[in-house]
Amino acid sequence: MILIFGSILYLSLKKSLERGLDISLRTFEEELRDALHINPYEKWNDVVNKESGEEIPLMYVQIMKISENGNRSTISIRSKTLKSGYLPLSKMAYAKAMRDTISFDTLRDRDNNPLRIMTSPIERKGGFSFILQIATPLKVISSTLDKFLFILLISGPILLIFSAFGGYLFVKKAFSPVKKIVRTAKRITAENLSQRIEPIDGKDEIGELAETFNDMISRLEMSFKQTKQFSSDVSHELKTPLTAIRGEIEVTLRKEREIEGYKNILKSLLEETGKLETIVENLLFLSRMDSQGIKFSFRKFALDESLLEVFEKIEKIAEGKGVHLILKKIQEVNVEGESNQVERAITNLIGNAIKYTPEGGRIEMSLEEERDSAKFTIKDTGMGIPEDALPYIFDRFYRVDKARSRETGGSGLGLAIVKWIVEAHRGKIEVKSKVGEGTIFVVFLPLKH
C-alpha cells in the first residue's frame, strides 16, 4: 500500500510539474509569436534574442525554415541561450507542425540532457514554412522529483515500521476476545457444556461471534440433555414390559400347569409384546420425523369422513370401558394433507381421552369450520391435567401420573406424535384442562377450498 501510494504521489507530482512547464512554454510561445507577427522576417533574430535574453536564461528558441516541397529543413534562427547547440525535432512533432498542430515532447540534446520542447507552426512566407520550437531543460523538475523520491524512500520504511507496530497492537487487541473464545472452546466437552464465553462489549463481529457461540453451546447442551433423557426414558419403557415378560416366563417354568393356565400366560405375554411393539413403532416414527425421513404427499380429502371412520373403529373400545363416545357436531370440511397421518393423530387423541376417562364418563367430539381452518374439538370428563404440567404434555415420554399411565398401557409418545403431525400439516393444537373436571383438546387444520 505504501509503495502504491508513493508511486501515485510521484507520478502525480511529475505530471503536475510537466503541466505547469507546458503552460509556461505555451505562454512564452504566444508572446513570441505576437512579436514575430508584427516584425518582418529580417528582424526575427533580434526579436528572438530580445525575448529569450538574460531575463529567461533557461528558455531556448529555435526557428526552422522549411521549403515548400518539404524535402529539406534548415535552422534559420536560434536564440543566444542555445549557444552552438540545437533543438531536436521528432518526426511526429514535424508532421503535426506541417498540419498546423502544436505538440509537446521530452527529448535529449547532444549532451544527453532532457529537454521539454514545444513545437508549433508560425506562418508561411515567400514559399517557405516556419516551425517555432521553444524548449527548457528539465533539470529543475528532475531535481524536485529526485528530492521527492528521496523523501519517499526515507519516509517509506519509517512509515512501514510504525504501521507494522500499530497493526500488531491493533490485531493483538482485536483478537484478544478470539483467544478467549478459543480457550473456552478447548475447555468445553460433552460432559461440561454448562460453560459459556464471557460477554464481549460492543456489537462488532467478535461480539456477535461470542454470542452465536454461546447460543450454539446452549442448543448443544439442550440437545445432550434431551438425548440423555430420551435414552433413559426409552430404556425404562422397554425394561418394564421386558421385565413383565421375563417374570411371566419364570413363573410359568416353575411348575406344570393346565392348558388353560398356559393360555392365560400366553395372553399376558401377548399383551406385553403388544406394548413393546407399540413403543418400538412410535420410536421408529419419531426417529424418522427427527431425520426428516417422512415425506407427506398432500392431497385434498374430507376430514369429516376420516373422523367418522376413526369413530366407528374406536367406539367399541370406549363401550368396553364404559365410556360414552359422542359425536356432538360434524360439518363437511375439506383439508389438504395425508389422511392416514391425520387419522392417526385423531386416533391418538381419542384413545388418550378413553384411557384417562373413568367408567361412566363422557367424551364429546365436534368438527366445524372456523374462518380458514377446520376445528376439531375433543372434550372428556376425565381426571384432568394439573396446570403446571400442561407445558410438558407434548414432550416425549412425559406423563403426569407415571404409575397410572403404565396401568393403562401409555408410553408417553402419543401426544408428541399428534403435535408433530398437526404442525407438519401447517396446523396447531391447543389444550385446556382442570383437575377433576376433564380436558379439552382443539386441533386447527387449514381448509382446502
Which residues touch 241 (CB under 8 Å, ≥6 apart)?
Answer: 272, 273, 275, 276, 279
Collapsing DSSP states into helix, strand and coil, what is residue 322?
A: coil
Q: Are 91 and 67 in contact (CB under 8 A)?
A: no
Kindly indicate the confidence band of residue 255, based on its pLDDT and cuts at 50, 70 and 90: confident
Residue 366 or 124, more confident: 366
- Select from 120, 144, 168 the last residue of a domain: 144
Report, as an integer, the average pLDDT of 400-415. Answer: 60
What is the model's pLDDT at position 449? Answer: 58
How large is the average pLDDT for residues 192-221? 77
Tell me, yes or no, whether 313 and 262 share the same domain: no
Q: How many domains does the chain have?
A: 3
Residue 70 domain-assigned? yes
Strand locations in 68-113 (E): 73-78, 103-108
410 band by pLDDT with thresholds 50, 70 and 90: low
Residue 214's pLDDT band (cuts 50, 70, 90): confident
Give 206's Cβ-side CA count (13 Å radius).
Answer: 16
Determine, yes or no, domain membership for 157.
no
According to DSSP, the β-strands at 114-125 and 60-67 are unpaired
241 versus 15: which is more confidently predicted? 15
Name 75's bridge partners: 64
Question: How much is the average pLDDT of 245-267?
Answer: 82
Q: What would the pLDDT profile of 282-326 be if each residue is shown by its tens digit?
A: 777 766 666 555 667 788 999 999 999 999 988 888 988 899 999
Q: Is residue 320 part of a domain?
A: yes
Question: Which of 47-51, 148-152, 155-159 bottoms out in mean pLDDT, i.e. has the lowest?
Answer: 47-51
Q: In sequence order, what are the residues at sequence separation of 6 or more whose Cβ sits closer than 8 angstroms to the Cβ of residue 210? A: 177, 181, 197, 198, 199, 200
- Give the domain extent around 30: 2-144
Is residue 403's pLDDT more than 50?
no
The pLDDT confidence band at residue 405, using thresholds 50, 70 and 90, is very low
316 and 244, same domain (yes or no): no
Task: Give the model's confidence band at 367: pLDDT under 50 very low, under 70 low, under 90 confident, else very high.
Answer: very high
Which of 56-70, 170-184, 277-291, 320-334 ranks highest by mean pLDDT? Answer: 320-334
| pLDDT at 71 > cutoff 80 | no
Q: Cell 400366553 appears where?
A: 266
Mean of pLDDT over the chain: 82
Which of 17-31, 165-179, 193-207, 224-238 has the largest mean confidence? 17-31
Pairing of strands 362-370, 324-330: parallel
pLDDT at residue 230 in the model: 67
Do residues 212 and 191 touch, judged by C-beta distance below 8 A? no
Same-domain status, 231 and 276: yes
If asked whether residues 27 and 87 sit together in one domain, one would say yes
CATH number at residue 393: 3.30.565.10
> Could you tell me if 135 and 9 lie in one domain?
yes
**Whole-number percent of the chain with pLDDT over 90:** 17
Q: Is residue 164 part of a domain?
A: no
The pLDDT value given to residue 122 = 80
Indicate the pLDDT class of residue 400, thresholds 50, 70 and 90. Answer: low
Question: Are 10 and 129 in a shared domain?
Answer: yes
DSSP code at position 42: G
On the question of pLDDT at 348 being above 60, the answer is: yes
Name the strand (E) or helix (H) holding 439: strand 438-446
Interval 6-51: pLDDT, tens: 889 989 998 898 888 888 888 888 888 888 888 888 888 888 888 7
Looking at the fold, whether 355 and 262 belong to one and the same domain comes out as no
Which of these ranges, 30-34, 295-299, 414-418, 435-439, has the smallest mean pLDDT?
Answer: 295-299
Q: Is residue 168 part of a domain?
A: no
| Residue 360 maps to a domain | yes
Residue 404 has pLDDT above 60, yes or no: no
Task: Looking at the structure, tell me whether residues 282 and 304 fall in a common domain.
Answer: no
The answer to whether the pTM exceeds 0.85 is no
The count of C-alpha atoms lying within 13 angstroms of the C-alpha of 304, restricted to the half-sphere facing its C-beta, is 13
Residue 279 in contact with residue 272, Cβ under 8 Å?
A: no
End position of a domain, from candidates 114, 144, 174: 144
Q: Among 263, 290, 317, where does a domain finish?
A: 290
H/E stretch holding 367 reads: strand 362-370
The answer on 330 and 254 residing in a single domain is no
163 pLDDT higher than 80? yes
Shared domain for 436 and 305, answered yes or no, is yes
pLDDT of 201 strictly over 60: yes
* Same structural domain, 244 and 312: no
CATH code where residue 274 lies: 1.10.287.130
Same domain, 338 and 431: yes
pLDDT of residue 128: 66
